[in-house]
Structure 1
Amino acid sequence: MGKLIKAEFRKILSTKLWWGLLIIALLVAGAWAGMLSSVFDGLAEELSRSEVMRLAGLQLDEISFSVVFLTRAINIATIFPMLFGGLAIASELGRKTITTSFLTAPNRSMLLGAKGITYAIWGAIYGIAIICAATLGIVIGTGGDHLVSFTTWLSTAAAGVLSCVLWTLLGLGVGALIGSPVGTVIVLLVYGLAIGPISDLVFTGFAEGDANVAGALPNGAANGLTGSTAADTLADEIQANATGVSSVSSDLLEGFQDTARLAAGGLGSFGLLASAAIFFAWAMLFFALGLWRTQSRDIT
């Protein structure tokens, strides 16, 4: 297995795809974080006038509001590790190079397992790079003000890395199912840029009595993973620093968390653990289906 993983790394590093998508991901994450945080003052003033902030007796600089922009930038940039994973098997099927891989590997299961491990590692690499770019964008956009604490940044970074890993594996499964690099890119882009966000809006706006329908879908659950981390962080800071915490009801805090999830892109999402479990299930479903399809595919 170790030799197969090493071979997969060599194969990836011999192409331009990994760094081409990575550079775009860094630019998108940094630009979005910088742009959102540059307009921070206007949004922060609105948040500071909220009832929960007033009752808690908190000042603006006591809350790490920029974590919302960090998670928003991460959510947007995760489309690139998804595309990277989507082309993992699809490109080899399209070029017929996977035939040689199957012939030289002990069996298909070991080869596909090595691909899964390799691309999970690459998903983490993309995640770390995206988070660093988004952090730099916030530093530049805010001029160094209103930065998140290290513990807040660490928890958000962990959620972002997990999100990138799962998106990479989900993309890998979709690519393996479709078997065409062009078809895979089209499907993933249409879902990531249109169907996913639109379905979040539709289900959140029109679900009768259950606004969390969107959170049960892949896009909503993935955004909820990072968005709920930001929302929970802000709620914890309010409870820890509030001078009038006894006056802040649980309903107000819950409403504040929902607003923070919305701002972070987690529209209609569940809490952190539920979002993580739901997105993990979706990613593993597509990943397993893709490997099963490749395992049984007739390769000539």
Structure 2
Amino acid sequence: MIGLLNSEFRKVVSLRFWWILGLVPLVVGAFSGAVTLPLVRAVAEGLGGDGTVANSVATVFGVVVALFFVVLFGAVFAAVNVGTEFRYGTVTPTFTTTRSRDGVLAAKLAVTSLFGLGYCLVVVLVSSALLLTFSSDADLTSTWPGLLGSGLVVALAWTLIGAGLGLVTRSTVGATVTLVVWFTIGELVVRGILSGLGGGAVGAMLPMSATVGTVVNGASSNGVEELPLWPGAPLTLLFWALALVAAGWFTVRTRDVT
């Protein structure tokens, strides 16, 4: 197993896409925290609001914006990392030279998840550091542990979702397009349809809704009841991740990879 892990790690670092995909969320994280705090505080002061509340809101919002891009690009990285093997046919010699496909898949998912968690950790640290650098009023004491913990949960889940889609579709393009469309408008459309049919509660269990609930309610001392609450939100998101990984695993084990 150690040999498979080393092999998968070398495959990732030998290609440029792992750090190229990590640049965008890093840049967004660098600027979101620095820009959000003064803007939100200025608006709050103009409206005569509580500056302490404004600091808390700005801190959460700035890091959440960065986390949104971390989650998206982490999922895209996973889809590309897995799908590339099928696109160029490199998965065939890998499977034929190892004892079982299960070990290869487990190693690939483990390494891919490690990079997804790394993306999240770096971006949250950068965003938080810049918040403290640009303003000493940033409220990180109460929000940072929750943001980091919930951020790591959603980063892991969406990395697995991206990998699962890559295994199911065996296509970097198909999996990437699916992820981007779902992130931007797909789930909003589905939720709108479900709400119109009286299925609003079902819409709250969709991946993006569970993601927002996990992060916002994980960082907030007072839960936002309009969003999925803990522990239901992270458990729902992890369910989607495991379901897609299971579907992809089953597909790879039962279909001819040549």
| TM-score exceeds 0.5 | yes
Total equivalences in the alignment: 256
Matches within 5 A, 1:128-167: 128-139=121-132, 143-167=134-158
- Correspondence for 2:175: 184
CA contact (8 A) 2:204 2:228 kept: yes
Question: Residues of 2 paired with 1:131 and 1:212: CA distance?
Answer: 31
- Correspondence for 1:24: 24
Question: Residues of 1 paired with 2:36 and 2:247: CA distance?
Answer: 38
The counterpart of 2:101, out of the listed 108, 114, 117, is 108
Question: Residues of 2 paired with 1:146 and 1:114: CA distance?
Answer: 43
Q: What is the CA deviation profile of residues 39-96 of structure 1, one whole-angstrom value per residue up to 9, with x for unaligned ones?
A: 11245448974xxxxxxxxx53376332233223312431000001111221110000
Describe the shift of the 1:92–1:194 C-alpha distance in structure 2 as closer, same or farther (beyond 3 A). Answer: same
- Correspondence for 1:283: 241
**4+ runs deviating over 6 angstroms:** none
Q: Does residue 68 in structure 1 map to residue 61 in structure 2? A: yes
Q: Which secondary structure state, in structure 2, belongs to the residue aligned with residue 32 of structure 1?
A: helix
CA contact (8 A) 2:87 2:171 kept: yes
2:31 partner amino acid: A
Q: What is the CA deviation profile of residues 162-218 of structure 1, one whole-angstrom value per residue up to 9, with x for unaligned ones?
A: 111110000000111111112221111111222134545x3697575x754432001
Consecutive unaligned residues in structure 2, runs of 5 or more: none
Question: Residues of 2 paired with 1:86 and 1:39: CA distance?
Answer: 35
Matches within 5 A, 1:1-300: 1-45=1-45, 49=49, 59-61=50-52, 64-65=56-57, 66-139=59-132, 143-199=134-190, 202=192, 208=198, 212-231=201-220, 233=221, 235=222, 257-258=224-225, 268-300=226-258
Question: Residues of 1 paired with 2:235 and 2:144: CA distance?
Answer: 22
Q: Which secondary structure state, in structure 2, belongs to the residue aligned with residue 216 of structure 1?
A: coil
| Per-residue deviation, 1:158 | 1.1
Describe the shift of the 1:151–1:98 C-alpha distance in structure 2 as closer, same or farther (beyond 3 A). Answer: same
CA contact (8 A) 2:164 2:244 kept: yes
Consecutive unaligned residues in structure 1, runs of 5 or more: 50-58, 236-253, 259-267
2:84 partner amino acid: S
2:212 partner amino acid: N
TM-score when scaled to structure 1?
Answer: 0.77
| Per-residue deviation, 1:16 | 0.3
Higher CA-based Rg: 1
- Correspondence for 1:56: none
- Correspondence for 1:239: none
Question: Residues of 2 paired with 1:121 and 1:138: CA distance?
Answer: 26
Alpha carbon RMSD of aligned pairs, Å? 2.5
Describe the shift of the 1:71–1:46 C-alpha distance in structure 2 as closer, same or farther (beyond 3 A). Answer: farther
Describe the shift of the 1:151–1:76 C-alpha distance in structure 2 as closer, same or farther (beyond 3 A). Answer: same
Question: Residues of 2 paired with 1:203 and 1:64: CA distance?
Answer: 34
| Per-residue deviation, 1:129 | 1.4
**Could you tell me the percent identity over the aligned residues?**
23
